[in-house]
Amino acid sequence: MITCVRGTRDILPDEIHLWHLVERESAAIFDRYGFEELRLPIFEVTELFARGIGDTTDIVEKEMYTFTDRNDQSLTLRPEGTASLVRAYIQHQLYKDGGTRKLYYAGPMFRYERPQKGRYRQFYQIGAEVLGPDSPGVEAEVIDMLMLLMDRLGIGDTRLWINSIGCPACRPAFLAVLQEREQAAAGRLCADCVRRIAANPLRVLDCKNPDCQDTINSLPSILDYLCAPCRSHHERLKKHLGLLGIAYHENPRMVRGLDYYVKTTFEITSGALGAQNSLLGGGRYDGLVEQLGGPPTHGFGFALGLDRFVLALPEAVRAGSRPVPDVHLAPLGETAQELAQVVAARLRRAGFAVSQDFQDRSLKSHLRHANRLGVPRVVIIGDAEAEAGQAALKSLITGDQILVPLTELEAVLRQQPAEKE
């Protein structure tokens, strides 16, 4: 038997309606905030990610699915969406009209990570980016949008973490101090940390190795080294969040795994998830557009993990989101089968979701089947009823049954909208 590759998975019909729910709600909420969708390719030239995400990040160093195509071009399955979106923004000069562009994307991402619950090698992200303004108000607006989305989906027990990782003006001084302190503590850090001290000292703060935590917690905090503009930006973000009534926690260790961030980084975690508790993350990336060959442009955005959103959906939402047909057709006999097919086609054109299988079932089996689907109403057509152009309409909720002329079936179904179970 050939099975799917480790770290990838099939999303089966049992679960897909949860994905549709998150996708639908995200699109509807993002639309309310003025975001437009962009569809991006799944692979790009490798250089885009090496330059965009940063050579010394985990993603670029060891997690990318990179291959050469038949033309000897190095390509990479996208490990994230921001670099691609910015590439498209520059390529199509989406900055031409001036002002703010609010864009979002959705789709699979690929990282060679160790698979576990909530962490896959092919996973799905929905991300949104605001290109143009520098204001902390934009950041609060995006966070507010995410709060509304999580609220709509019933995702509770979440925490918003915010940080500022400074800018090219203040970060170098902090990095110098940090590097020195990390070197002094190298004996108590893991091999990965030690390797990063020279190449990317900020990344050490991100290490998840339990043995490193005490040492890392004793390192200096970036918040003590911010320049005046970064400090003011950070304070204003907190003020805006306060105005919106959004609770947050500051976490000076949260640097995120991508090199393009400046000033604000943020993350939302969920208590409903296990070890992989990060629902989404993002931040400001003011230099990225320019770095990838575009005009100087401020940027702020996030990516949410669709797999994890689905995992964090509460039971009530899970149970309520399965699509249920409006009506089940139960033809008894061959003539009735034929008639039922025509009736089903007509009802479907009128907008009803109709379940009809072509198995020769008894009435009892039809009712059992309809109950299993949770269908509220069954249209029973026996051969005699078929002759008379009638059907019995049975409510599985009340048990009531009435005889309806087939020509009036549509109108009667419309008049009596049955509550679904």
The CA distance from 234 to 381, in Å, is: 68
Structure tokens at 344: 């089903």
Compute the least distance from the CB of residue 283 to ligand AMP, in Å.
9
Q: How far is CA 387 from the centre of its chain?
A: 53
One of 35, 49, 123, 174 touching ligand AMP (CB under 6 A): 123
Q: Which listed residue (52, 136, 252, 305) binds ligand AMP by CB under 6 A? A: 305
Helix (H) or strand (E) holding 22, with range, is helix 13-32
Among 279, 310, 312, 393, binds ligand AMP (CB under 6 A): 279
Using CA atoms, how far residue 85 sits from 80, 135, 155, 216, in Å, is 10, 21, 27, 34
* Cα–Cα dist 162/205, whole Å: 15
- Contact flag: residue 283 with ligand AMP (CB under 6 A): no
Q: Which is nearer to ligand AMP, 82 or 355 (CB)?
A: 82
Among 26, 76, 84, 125, binds ligand AMP (CB under 6 A): 125
Only segment of 179-187, 223-231, 272-280, 398-406 that touches ligand AMP (CB under 6 A): 272-280
Q: Cβ 188 to ligand AMP, closest distance in Å?
A: 27
Residue 108 vs 229, nearer CB to ligand AMP: 108
Residue 101, both tokens: 């562009």
- Are the CB atoms for 129 and 145 separated by under 8 Å? no
Is 150 one of the binding residues for ligand AMP (CB under 6 A)?
no
Q: Does 260 bind ligand AMP (CB under 6 A)?
A: no
Where helices occur in 66-189 by DSSP H, the ranges are 82-91, 136-152, 171-184
- 103 contacts 289 by C-beta, under 8 angstroms: no
| Interaction of residue 164 with ligand AMP, rule CB under 6 A | no
Residue 278 binds to ligand AMP (criterion: CB under 6 A): yes
Instruction: Decide: is 203 part of the binding site for ligand AMP (CB under 6 A).
Output: no
Tell which one of 139, 307, 326, 385 touches ligand AMP (CB under 6 A). Answer: 307
Please identify which residue in the block is written with the tokens 């979002």: 104
Strands 262-270 and 377-382: unpaired
Residues lying near ligand AMP in the complex (CB under 6 A) are found at 80, 111, 113, 118-120, 123, 125, 256-257, 278-281, 303, 305, 307-308
